[in-house]
Amino acid sequence: MAGTGKAGNAIGPSFVQTSFNEPGGLCVGGDANLLYVADTNNHQIKVLDLETKTVRVLPILHSDAEDVVDSALPKRIINPKLPKSTPNINLETLTVSSSKTLKYSLNLKLPLGAKLTEGAPSFWFLFTEGQEWLLAGQKTYGEILSLSKPSQIELVIPQEFRSPEAELKVGVCVYFCTKDSNVCTMKSVSFTHPLQVSVEDTGYPPALDLTYSF
């Protein structure tokens, strides 16, 4: 009904001039005159008018996605929300020292024969619940381009720890396709790491291993 037959992001104006990149969902609305298409790898929703045979992009605005001007806050203010079904792995409490670098090695395994989805950004991100000062000025987001080598994540423990304890979370979203199939999916996992600060110079492993098999 619509599309050029090749992956792309051309937006009409007609059905046959429009291209998609792994459309992953449909919804009918507007008294059955509009067809909403979740154009997954283009990160948009295209709206097909079934009467005029024209296409437009649905504008999406987030009420909480406002620009924040504050150099003390991390650059990535709004983190993705993980699905409620996301498994969480609790790590043992670690004693850390201020100004020291905490390193993680993210080692992910896909099902046999599966591979990362081309064009869909797999990524990790750091977040907390009510302790955003822990991430101020740090890199809190990174893309996962390959699983052949573990992704490296670093966090510098703040010089001024605002509480004796804190809880750091690592979220992961991975898009992959199964072997010999065009079926692709997104899976997620999170790691929760309780931290305690010490005035003394504590020693901990060069890189803490975060391993998970989807």
Say how many domains are in the chain.
Answer: 2
Task: Kindly state whether residues 93 and 188 are assigned to the same domain.
Answer: yes
User: What is the three-state SS of the chain?
Assistant: CCCCCCCCCCCCCEHHHCCCCCEEEEEEECCCCEEEEEEHHHCEEEEEECCCCEEEECCCCCCCCCCCCCCCCCCCCCCCCCCCCCCEEECCCEEEECCCEEEEEEEEECCCCCEECCCCCCEEEEECCCCHHHHCCCCCEEECCCCCCCEEEEEECCCCCCCCEEEEEEEEEEEEECCCCCCEEEEEEEEEEEEEEECCCCCCCCCEEEEEEC
Put simply, whether the predicted model's pTM sits higher than 0.75 gets the answer no
The pLDDT, as a whole number, for residue 105 is: 96
CATH code for position 144: 2.60.40
Task: Kindly state whether residues 102 and 159 are assigned to the same domain.
Answer: yes
Residue at 122 is within a domain: yes
Task: Kindly state whether residues 51 and 100 are assigned to the same domain.
Answer: no
**What residue numbers bound the domain in which 172 lies?**
88-213
Residue at 68 is within a domain: no
pLDDT in tens, 37-94: 999 888 889 999 898 889 988 887 655 544 444 444 344 445 678 888 999 999 999 9
